[in-house]
Amino acid sequence: MGLPGLAGAEHIGITVPNLEAATRFFVDVIGCKVVFEIGPFASDDDWMQQHLGVDPRSRINKLRMLKCANGPAIELFEYDVKDQKKTIPKNSDVGGHHVGFYVSDLDAAVAHLRRHGVQVLGSFQIS
């Protein structure tokens, strides 16, 4: 049962509206490192549709791969495509998403996020 030979998750891809702003957040606030970047790229045939399930005339302005300590990498995409939906889905919407991180001190991590203007949902009281 399951995927033969599964050894773990390698990366998670996230399409972002502004690659530079997303990179600054993951690098400056979270502490990830840029591993590599490529782009821009597009295709004159149906490669984008066949391999990524997007409009064949889509263009990826840039793709940037980040590594955040242990665990899967985070792949950030910035697309340029005529029919792109710009509305960010809620967690309850199809396509909604979040990324979770392990930390050794949750109180310090929450305080760090708040100092950087990140909205922390819920209340935390760790003892």
In a domain, 127, yes or no: no
Whether pLDDT at 19 is above 80: yes
Given this model, what pLDDT does residue 123 score? 73
pTM for the whole structure: 0.86
**What total number of domains does the chain contain?**
1
In a domain, 2, yes or no: no
pLDDT in tens, 36-61: 999 998 999 999 999 988 999 999 99
Whether pLDDT at 127 is above 60: no
CATH number at residue 49: 3.10.180.10
Helices marked H in the chain: 19-24, 47-52, 106-115
Q: Which domain holds residue 70?
A: 11-115
Given this model, what pLDDT does residue 125 score? 64
Query: Which residues, including other chains, have CB under 8 Å from residue 96's CB and lie 6 or more apart?
Result: 89, 90
Q: What mean pLDDT value characterizes the chain?
A: 91
In a domain, 122, yes or no: no
In a domain, 56, yes or no: yes
In a domain, 35, yes or no: yes
